[in-house]
Structure 1
Amino acid sequence: MDEAEVSGQVWRDEVRVRLMAEQDRDALARLVEVDADPFEVELYERAADPQVLSIDRAQRSRAGQYARHVRRLRERQQRQDS
């Protein structure tokens, strides 16, 4: 694997293991309900931003598409090798 492939794989792995933006938003909403700390409110507003949610969904979608693509290539290669 070259450096670009390794970097891409690291990014995809990170996307898969991190919490979804909606989960972050919901957790921050619960914190804001308790004490409404200004910093927590700022974090919630960022996490609730539609653009942040859209970017998160797009990144997750892209990582999933690539994983399915790689899986299909491996399956195809295994069938050819058999």
Structure 2
Amino acid sequence: MTDAANSKPAIPDHLSVDPRSPFHDAEVFQHDIGIRFNDKERFDVEEYCISEGWIKVPAGKTRDRKGNILTIKLKGRVEAFYK
């Protein structure tokens, strides 16, 4: 295999799973990404920002009137990594 086939894009500082967001990067989602928040791995992160130190997670099964998931912003130490 070549290095080009194994190369992964740099992990962005701000990333969102919502394709409508300006912070969504489909190329990054081709690989498995892990999020560690306050030294604990999270699997329910909708959006994160490493430099500002926050993540957004779903607020239960609650949805807004347009059907979008409502999220809660949690502040702390954020680390993103490829699995």
TM class by smaller structure:
under 0.3
Larger Rg: 1
Scaled by the length of structure 1, what TM-score is found?
A: 0.21
